[in-house]
């Protein structure tokens, strides 16, 4: 099999948690990561605008040789997957299907709690994907979690208090068997989320979309288990705004330094 070139697209840095999960899972690949940082956040924008932006980025990654595309952005996965699939002649994987697929094993008929941004909740994309797999999704908008992660308040009393408020409100209305992290920023606070669930008496598993999506990509490529003797994966990053900020903030999400970022003008 030729080395695949996997394009990973997000509106910003959050999708780097998906790239972080992909690198060790599928090392025999080259990755092209595009953060459309000049136009983030997508969450506040209309469906038509988001689809237009996401299609621009998908076409760019295809033009640079991507043989598969990962839409590592919940908003674009919820609102623009059909438009992206129509725009490029390569497989396109969003972040919503994989995490719901992973949640559904052994949990048919149970409730799952989806934590996400307001835009993702308003799209009800998780509810629809869950309903197709006999899961009842309760969707909880958590608009403060992205800014808290970006502030770097990971293991912080304010983050715990905010999680307490959001999770106590959600658990008052449901008893989930799993909690789905429906935003690519949330894997960075997976531990505080698990801790707060336990404190509130829930035994729900926490499933993050980064791991689930990497697993799905590996299955599509026919890679059952990682090859430990493979050379380490290589990646190239593109951003539509401030290179310096992308390198500085992005390295927290990727969990390693980002040596080089190419500035890209997609217009707009």
Provide the binding-site residues for a copy of itself, judged by CB under 8 A. Answer: 37-41, 44-46, 49, 143-144, 146-148, 150-151, 157-158, 161-162, 165, 241-242, 245, 267-268
**Straight-line distance from the first to the last Cα atom of the chain, in angstroms, rounded to the nearest whole number:** 38
Q: Rounded to the nearest whole angstrom, what is the least distance from the CB of residue 266 to a copy of itself in the complex?
A: 9
Q: If we measure between CA atoms, which residue out of 204, 217, 201, 216 comes closest to residue 135?
A: 204
Residue that has been written with the tokens 């623009």 in this structure:
80
Q: Are strands 178-181 and 111-116 parallel, antiparallel or unpaired?
A: parallel
Tell me whether residue 183 is one of the annotated catalytic residues. yes
What count of Cα atoms within 13 Å lies in the side-chain half-sphere of residue 175? Answer: 2
162/167 with CB nearer a copy of itself: 162
On whether the CB atoms of residues 117 and 146 are closer than 8 A, the answer is yes
245/252 with CB nearer a copy of itself: 245
220/248 with CB nearer a copy of itself: 248
Strand order in the sheet with 111-116: 136-141, 111-116, 178-181, 205-208
Give φ, ψ of 264 to 5 degrees. Answer: -130, 140
Q: Rounded to the nearest whole angstrom, what is the least distance from the CB of residue 221 to a copy of itself in the complex?
A: 34
Q: What CA–CA distance (Å, rounded) separates 70 from 213? A: 8
110/242 with CB nearer a copy of itself: 242
Q: Rounded to the nearest whole angstrom, what is the least distance from the CB of residue 137 to a copy of itself in the complex?
A: 22
Tell me whether residue 174 is one of the annotated catalytic residues. no
Catalytic residue among 130, 142, 183, 237: 183
On whether the CB atoms of residues 37 and 237 are closer than 8 A, the answer is no
Q: Rounded to the nearest whole angstrom, what is the least distance from the CB of residue 153 to a copy of itself in the complex?
A: 8
118/234 with CB nearer a copy of itself: 118
Q: Rounded to the nearest whole angstrom, what is the least distance from the CB of residue 220 to a copy of itself in the complex?
A: 33
Q: Is 231 left (phi over 0), alpha (psi -120 to 50) or beta?
A: beta
Q: What CA–CA distance (Å, rounded) separates 193 from 165? A: 12
Catalytic residue among 73, 130, 142, 237: 73
Active centre residues (catalytic): 73, 183
């Amino acid at each position: 099999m030729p080395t695949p070139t996997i394009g990973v697209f997000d509106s910003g840095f959050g999708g780097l948690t998906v790239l972080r999960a992909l690198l060790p899972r599928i090392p025999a690949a080259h990755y092209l990561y595009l953060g459309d940082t000049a136009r983030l956040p997508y969450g506040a924008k209309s469906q038509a605008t988001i689809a237009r932006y996401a299609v621009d980025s998908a076409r760019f990654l295809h033009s640079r040789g991507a043989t598969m595309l990962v839409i590592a952005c919940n908003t674009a996965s919820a609102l623009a997957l059909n438009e992206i699939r129509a725009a490029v002649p390569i497989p396109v994987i969003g972040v919503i299907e994989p995490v719901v697929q992973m949640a559904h094993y052994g949990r048919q008929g149970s409730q799952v709690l989806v934590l996400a941004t307001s835009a993702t909740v308003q799209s009800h994309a998780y509810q629809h994907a869950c309903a197709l797999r006999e899961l009842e999704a309760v969707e909880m908008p958590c608009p403060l979690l992205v800014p808290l992660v970006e502030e770097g308040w990971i293991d912080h009393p304010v983050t715990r208090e905010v999680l307490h408020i959001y999770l106590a409100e959600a658990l008052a209305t449901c008893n989930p068997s799993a909690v789905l992290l429906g935003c690519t920023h949330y894997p960075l606070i997976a531990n505080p989320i698990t801790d707060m669930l336990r404190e509130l008496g829930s035994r729900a598993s926490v499933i993050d979309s980064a791991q689930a999506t990497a697993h799905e990509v590996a299955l599509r490529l026919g890679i059952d288990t990682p090859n430990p003797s493979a050379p380490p994966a290589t990646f190239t990053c593109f951003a539509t705004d401030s290179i310096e900020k992308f390198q500085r903030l992005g390295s927290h999400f990727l969990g390693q330094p980002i040596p080089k970022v190419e500035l890209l003008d997609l217009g707009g």
